Structure 1
């Protein structure tokens, strides 16, 4: 079978360790009850091989932006029950992919667009009920970090508002072709029961981003661009830094300021 050359411009690092691939797929518990699974960036199909064997998956979509990978996968899985799409995940309308039904996401995410992938997952949080993925360890740790940790940031808060997140394990560079310069981390996101934050969602995102723009400063200084009245910023919470606030604290802060912006 033809060889697929990893492409630097696409951030491709193909996993070569089958036991790690099997562990990643095994972490996708949603596949046991969710008939729909989307794999982002299947490359040469190291995860896809195990996904195709899961009898519980009724619709599996393999989506890649690399035409060479798509051609490779179409030959490899000819006659198999998988839909192979040549498309850009960041531009896809995910509502139509599974006819509006919920689905799980899995993949070895390209390092260079992993944050963008998660922001899109948030846009479809009512459909995406689980994500299992491998990405740069630094980003994986950040997403799973809790308040009070130096790695805690914007993505931590926004994702943890809607997902329970676990850091599963670390993967060394030696099991990739080509080897990346950093370690990778595998994380799992499971949709929680939150359907309404109880505050304006757009303002919540704005408050979180503003708070972390100058993370070493107090919220009083970090949120000056919001031009909040002094009677609001005089409150005790504004003496804290963004990394000290939990998701619930940020929701409470949003409720406090949303009528004054």
Structure 2
């Protein structure tokens, strides 16, 4: 089988170090007793080989036609579980038909979009084990008060317990990226629904971080808040100083101020 060439426009950096692939595969726990695993962007199957050893009910999705052809040759027994498509556009709720784990070496250029899709499907995605740009991995796992803490940190931490597992240097990829990579694991927590209007929560978090250096009073001013809420000392803080619970409190206060 001819090797697949990594394509720059797809943000492909193929992992070549087998020990790191094995380490990532072993980090998948099947949280919640789940057996189905969806690997995003398997490329030539370096991680896939180790996931198959762990005996998961494995599905693969790749947008690269060359990779898909290669994977069908390499894993004929997977058949229709090799999905030629875009994870961001396919309806995996129906494809996976129940709870599943997401794993993979995520393309750098779409890693944040993958997580927004995971959030949409959080009732089914019980765990994510992935490698992505170190800076993004740290941001997702970062606690409040940290300079890396941002929109994705808050939104994902509302529904997942997150661990930064280890750092991977550029030299173990073909082609090597210009930056380090990081491996993280997210496990779905017990929160089924937030104690607030969830759509508004997402909006408040995004608005809060839209002007990072300003206080929340300035950041959420355009949302039309009451004079009473403007006096709340919580609004003296910046978005990065608030945890999930404080954002829930703020969301409820904003909604209350609209109904006054």
TM-score under structure 1 length normalisation: 0.96
Q: Check if 1:239 corresponds to 2:254.
A: no
Q: Check if 1:196 corresponds to 2:193.
A: yes
Q: Check if 1:70 corresponds to 2:68.
A: yes
RMSD (Å), alpha carbons? 1.3
Distance, in Å, in 2 between the alignment partners of 1:25 and 1:141 is 20
Alignment match of 2:90 (pick from 92, 104, 121): 92
Contact 2:72-2:78 at 8 Å conserved across structures: no
**1:1-52 superposed Cα distances (whole Å, 9 cap, x missing partner):** 2110000000000000000000001000117931211000000001100111
Q: Which residue of 2 aligns with 1:19?
A: 19
Which SS does the other structure have where 1:29 is aligned? coil
Q: Which residue of 2 aligns with 1:206?
A: 203
Distance, in Å, in 2 between the alignment partners of 1:93 and 1:80 is 19
Which SS does the other structure have where 2:209 is aligned? helix
Distance, in Å, in 2 between the alignment partners of 1:175 and 1:188 is 20
Residue ranges of structure 1 left out of the alignment (5+ in a row): none
Which SS does the other structure have where 1:133 is aligned? strand
Contact 1:164-1:191 at 8 Å conserved across structures: yes
Distance, in Å, in 2 between the alignment partners of 1:2 and 1:205 is 45
Q: Which residue of 1 aligns with 2:216?
A: 219
Which SS does the other structure have where 1:47 is aligned? helix
Q: How does 1:94-173 map to 2 (within 5 A)?
A: 94-99=92-97, 101-173=98-170
TM-score under structure 2 length normalisation: 0.97
Contact 1:168-1:186 at 8 Å conserved across structures: yes
Contact 1:148-1:243 at 8 Å conserved across structures: yes
Residue ranges of structure 2 left out of the alignment (5+ in a row): none
Q: Which residue of 2 aligns with 1:253?
A: 250
